[in-house]
Chains A and B, each alone.
Chain A
C-alpha cells in the first residue's frame, strides 16, 4: 500500500471519527511491516497518524481505550526508529495513550501483558528525557505531564461513576496488584521534580523551558495537591537570568519570550482562581518581572530622553525650558455668536471637532461610556484643561457683562473697554484683579439675577426630568405609610403646642378653614376632619360601621380609626391641657355624624316611606368617642378638676349614657361634688339636657347614699316630687349615711 492510499484512509477518518475503529486495525500491519522494512516515509506517516488518531476530539475516549492496547507493540517498535520525527510523533501518541492504558489496567488488574509493554514504552521515553535532542525532549515533557496527571490524585466528581471522572490516582484502589498506589504516587512526585528542575536549569534552552511552563498550567489547574509546589517553583523562576550573558539577538528574543510565557501562565492561574492564596505573591512577581524587564531591555533608551513637553511657542533656538508657559494661541478660540447663546455654545470650544458633535446617548451601555470617560479623563492634559476652563470663564464673564448692560442701559459709569470683550486675554488668570471683582459684583448686584438665566432658558434644551415611577403600594404598605403620616402630624402638633399663642382671634366655628394658619389648632382641625370626614359620603352610616368592623376583624383599622386612636392617645397624654383638642375633635365627630345622618335620612325618605332618625344614632362615632374619652379621663379626675366640667359643658351633645358616667364618678366620695357640679352646670346652661340631668341625679339619689345630701339640695329645686314620694322609705339610709358623710367632709 502506498502513501496516497494511506492518505485516503486518513481522510475517511477525518471525515468521521468513528472510522478510526476500523481503519486503525487495518493500518497497523502496514506500519509494522514498514518498521521491519525500514520504510521511513511509511513509518513517519504511521507515527503521525497514531498521534493524530489518539488526539482526535472526534473519536470517543472509550473507543480509543479499546484500540489503544493493540497499538502498544507498534509504538514500542516505532520508538526504536532512528528518526527524530518518528520518535516525536510516537511520544505524542504515547502521551495520549498512557492515561487510556492506565485506566484499562485500573479496572483489569490481571492484564500484566499490556502493562508490561506500556512500561517498556514509558521507560524508553523517560530515558530520552535528559539526553535526546530538545525537539524530542519537549515531547517527553508532555509525556511526563500526562504521567503526573494520571498518577496524582485528582478531584473525584462522582465516585459512583468512575468512567465520568478525570483519569487520576483517585481511581486506583489502594490494593491494586499491578500498580501499587504508593509507587505511582512516588513516581509522579519524582517526575514532577524533574519537570520543575528544567525551568531552573539551563535557560538558554528556551524551547524546553517554555514547553515546560506551558505544560505546568494544566497541572496547577487540575491537580490542587501539587499546585502549591508548582507555583512556588514558578515564582522562583527568573526568566531574565540570561541578562548577564552577552545580549545577542537570540538571547534577547529568548528572554523576552520566557518572561512573556511565565506571565501568561501566572495570569491564567489568577484568572482561573481569582481568590487563590498565591495571587498576592503572583502579583508581586509580575510587577518585579516588569521592572526587571524594563531594566534589561530599555538600557539603550535610557540616555535621558527629551522631555515630552509641548514645544509650541518656545524658541527653538534656545534650550528647552520645561517650566515655560507655552502661550495659548488666541486665534484658535472661536468667538461666541452675538445675542443669546445656549449652554452648549458656551462650553463648546472647538465646534468643528468630532467630540462636539458626538451624542453620548449613542452609547446604550452606560458601563461602556463610563470606561471611555474614565480613560479620557485620565488622559486629559492639565494645562489644556486649565486653558479651556479659562476660555469658558472669560466667555461667561463677557456674557454677564452683556446682560448687565442690557439690564441697566442707563449706567454709563462703567466704561467697558472694547479690548476687554474683543480680545481674549492670553494671560487670563483665575484670580483676576480685586477691583475688577468688586466692580463686577457691584454690577451684578444691580442686575436682577434671574435675567441672566431667563435669557438662556429657552435655548437650553434640557430633557424633561421624570422621577422614576414608584412601585405600586401593597395594602399593608399603604396602611403603614398612613400610620406614619398620622404620627408625624401629631408630632407636628406637639411641636407647635408650645409656640402656639393663647391669644385667639374670633372663632369661626365649623366655617373656619382648617389650614389657614400653621398653629396647633389648624393641625388639630385637619387631623380631626381627616378622621371624621375622610370617608364621609363614600359609605352610608351603617355600611361604614360594618366595613370598619370588617377591617378590625382583618386585624387592622381603617384610616379614620387609626387617626381617632392617635388623637385619643394624644389627648390622654396630657388631658388637662388638651381638653380643647378633645372638644374640637368631638365636635367634628358630632358634626360629621349629623351630616351623615341627614344624608341617610334624605336617602331613606326617597327610598323607604319615612323611617326618620330622630335621636342620636347609638352607633354614632360621636357617642363612641365621647364615652371613650370620658372613660379615659374619669379615673384620673380629681375632685377639684375643672377640666372635666369644661369638657362636659363644651361637647355638643349629651345623652343619658354620657351623663351616667357622672353618676359612676360620684361613687367615689371625693368626687361627688364634682359630678354634682357638672350636672348642675349642664342643667343651668344646657336646657335641652335638663331632663336627662334630672333623671341621672334622681338615679344618683336612689342608689348612692353618700351623694344623697348634695343631690337632695338640687332635687328640691328641680324635681321635689321625687323627694316626697321616697323620703320615708330612704330615711334610715340617710341617717346612717349622714354620719359617714360627716366624717368624710
Chain B
C-alpha cells in the first residue's frame, strides 16, 4: 500500500492487490492475527474495529496509522486472484491512482515478495491469458515492516518511473512519421525491460528482482 500511495502520488495509474486467502493483520499476540475478507471489508471498518478492540496497542504498533493511510488510498483491500482483468473499474474512481485504470488492465504488475510473484504467475496461468495482452510482472523483495515498506515504496516508484520513461520515449521516437521505422529503429518498450531492470537492480542491490512477461 505504501507503494500504491507513492505511485499514485507520482500520477501513475495504480491498482493494488493482496494474494493471500485473507487479509491478515497483527493481533494482540503473534498467534492471534486479525483476519478479514478481501473485496468486502472496508479499511474504515477494519480501522474502527481495531480502534475499539485496543486503541493503545494498535496505535503503538502503527497499525491504526497504516489503516488510516490506507483508507485514504482506496476503500477496501482487493485480492489478485479474484480480479477479472479487462473488467472496467469505473466504480473505483475514488481510489488514488484510479485514473488510467478504468479499462481494468495494467501494463506492469509489481509484487513485493517472491511468493506473491509465484502466486501472480500461477494465477495468470489459471486465468488463461484470454485478453491476449502482454503484462510485465516484476518482483521486488521487500521485508514486510513499516520502515522497509517506505524504502521499498521508493524503489518501486523508481522502477515504475524508469519503465514509464522508457515507454514514453519509445512512443515518441516511433511517432516521428515513420522515419525511425524506415531507418530500422523499430525497437519498442518491451525489449528494453530487462536492461531497465538490470540498471535498477544496480541501484537497489538489496532488493533482488525477478521479472517475467506474462499474459492477461
A: residues with CB less than 8 A from B are 11, 14-15, 38, 40, 51-52, 55-58, 82-85, 88, 92, 95-96, 132-136, 138-139, 142-143, 145-146, 205-207, 210-211, 213-215, 217-218, 221-222, 248-250, 252-254, 256-257, 260-261, 263-265, 267-268, 271-272, 354, 358, 362-363, 372
15 contacts between A and B (CB under 8 A): A14-B90, A57-B87, A83-B175, A85-B188, A133-B188, A138-B213, A206-B211, A214-B125, A214-B215, A250-B197, A253-B210, A257-B210, A260-B210, A268-B122, A358-B31
- Interchain CB contact (< 8 A) of A14 among B103, B213, B216: B103
> Top 9 A-B pairs ranked by shortest CB distance?
A135-B188, A135-B190, A264-B121, A55-B131, A250-B198, A217-B125, A82-B178, A95-B132, A82-B181
Contacts of B209 in A (CB 8 A): 253
Q: Contacts A88-B188, A250-B194, A253-B211 known; A38 to B129 CB distance under 8 Å?
A: no
Do A211 and B134 touch (CB < 8 A)? yes
Instruction: Please tell me if B182 contacts chain A, counting CB pairs below 8 Å.
Output: yes
Instruction: Please tell me if B171 contacts chain A, counting CB pairs below 8 Å.
Output: yes
Q: How far is the CA of A46 from the CA of B193 in the complex (A)?
A: 25
Q: How far is the CA of A295 from the CA of B32 in the complex (A)?
A: 40
Contacts of B194 in A (CB 8 A): 206-207, 250, 253-254, 257
Q: Contacts A52-B103, A265-B125, A354-B30 known; A135 to B215 CB distance under 8 Å?
A: no
Contacts of A40 in B (CB 8 A): 175, 177
Write out, one digit per residue, whether chain B residues 113-146 have a CB within 8 A of any chain A CB (1) or not (0). 0100110011011101111111000000000000
| Shortest Cβ gap from A8 to chain B (Å) | 12
Contacts of A252 in B (CB 8 A): 198, 201
Q: How far is the CA of A263 from the CA of B212 in the complex (A)?
A: 12
Contacts of A38 in B (CB 8 A): 177-178
Among the interface residues A210, A214, A254, A372, which one has the most CB atoms of the partner chain B within 10 A? A214
- Interchain CB contact (< 8 A) of B215 among A82, A85, A136, A215: A215
Contacts of A138 in B (CB 8 A): 134, 190, 213
| Shortest Cβ gap from B120 to chain A (Å) | 9
Instruction: Please tell me if B86 contacts chain A, counting CB pairs below 8 Å.
Output: yes
Contacts of A249 in B (CB 8 A): 198-199, 201-202
- Interchain CB contact (< 8 A) of B29 among A58, A96, A207, A354: A354
Do A210 and B213 touch (CB < 8 A)? yes
Do B201 and A253 touch (CB < 8 A)? yes
Q: How far is the CA of A211 from the CA of B121 in the complex (A)?
A: 12
Q: Contacts A142-B215, A264-B118 known; A218 to B128 CB distance under 8 Å?
A: yes
Do A207 and B102 touch (CB < 8 A)? no
Do B174 and A85 touch (CB < 8 A)? yes
Given contacts A142-B215, A207-B193, 17 further A-B contacts (CB under 8 A): A55-B130, A84-B188, A134-B188, A135-B187, A135-B191, A138-B213, A139-B132, A206-B194, A206-B213, A211-B213, A218-B125, A257-B194, A261-B121, A263-B118, A265-B121, A268-B122, A358-B31
| Shortest Cβ gap from A584 to chain B (Å) | 67
Write out, one digit per residue, whether chain B residues 183-207 have a CB within 8 A of any chain A CB (1) or not (0). 0001111110111011101100000
Q: How far is the CA of A58 from the CA of B87 in the complex (A)?
A: 7
Do A136 and B212 touch (CB < 8 A)? no
Contacts of A358 in B (CB 8 A): 29, 31
Contacts of A56 in B (CB 8 A): 86
Q: How far is the CA of A354 from the CA of B30 in the complex (A)?
A: 9
- Interchain CB contact (< 8 A) of A207 among B90, B105, B117, B213: B213
Do B130 and A57 touch (CB < 8 A)? yes
Q: Contacts A14-B102, A257-B210, A260-B117 known; A146 to B122 CB distance under 8 Å?
A: no
Closest to B184 in A: A133
Closest to A269 in B: B125
Do A84 and B174 touch (CB < 8 A)? yes
| Shortest Cβ gap from B108 to chain A (Å) | 14
| Shortest Cβ gap from A129 to chain B (Å) | 15
Among the interface residues A136, A217, A265, which one has the most CB atoms of the partner chain B within 10 A? A217
Interface residues on B, range: 35 or more
Write out, one digit per residue, whether chain B residues 1-36 have a CB within 8 A of any chain A CB (1) or not (0). 000000000000000000000000000011110000
| Shortest Cβ gap from A16 to chain B (Å) | 9
Instruction: Please tell me if B170 contacts chain A, counting CB pairs below 8 Å.
Output: yes
Instruction: Please tell me if B45 contacts chain A, counting CB pairs below 8 Å.
Output: no
Contacts of B175 in A (CB 8 A): 40, 83
Instruction: Please tell me if B84 contacts chain A, counting CB pairs below 8 Å.
Output: yes
Instruction: Please tell me if B214 contacts chain A, counting CB pairs below 8 Å.
Output: yes
Q: How far is the CA of A264 from the CA of B193 in the complex (A)?
A: 20
Do A214 and B191 touch (CB < 8 A)? no
Do A55 and B132 touch (CB < 8 A)? yes
Instruction: Please tell me if B56 contacts chain A, counting CB pairs below 8 Å.
Output: no
- Interchain CB contact (< 8 A) of A142 among B126, B129, B171: B129
Do B121 and A135 touch (CB < 8 A)? no
Do B84 and A57 touch (CB < 8 A)? yes
Q: How far is the CA of A40 from the CA of B176 in the complex (A)?
A: 9
Q: Contacts A84-B174, A253-B198 known; A215 to B129 CB distance under 8 Å?
A: yes
- Interchain CB contact (< 8 A) of B88 among A58, A136, A257, A362: A58
- Interchain CB contact (< 8 A) of B118 among A134, A205, A260: A260
Contacts of A82 in B (CB 8 A): 178, 181-182
Q: How far is the CA of A206 from the CA of B190 in the complex (A)?
A: 11
Q: How far is the CA of A136 from the CA of B124 in the complex (A)?
A: 21
Do A142 and B132 touch (CB < 8 A)? yes
| Shortest Cβ gap from A402 to chain B (Å) | 35
Contacts of A95 in B (CB 8 A): 132
Closest to B176 in A: A40
Contacts of A213 in B (CB 8 A): 212
Q: How far is the CA of A205 from the CA of B187 in the complex (A)?
A: 13
Do A207 and B31 touch (CB < 8 A)? no
Contacts of B132 in A (CB 8 A): 51, 55, 92, 95-96, 139, 142-143, 146
Q: How far is the CA of A15 from the CA of B201 in the complex (A)?
A: 40
Do A207 and B191 touch (CB < 8 A)? yes
Q: How far is the CA of A133 from the CA of B87 in the complex (A)?
A: 30
Q: Contacts A82-B181, A84-B186 known; A214 to B133 CB distance under 8 Å?
A: no
| Shortest Cβ gap from B21 to chain A (Å) | 13
Do A83 and B174 touch (CB < 8 A)? yes
Contacts of B105 in A (CB 8 A): 52
- Interchain CB contact (< 8 A) of A135 among B128, B182, B189: B189
Identify which of residues 61-106 in chain B touch chain A, using a CB-to-CB cut-off of 8 Å.
84, 86-88, 90, 102-103, 105
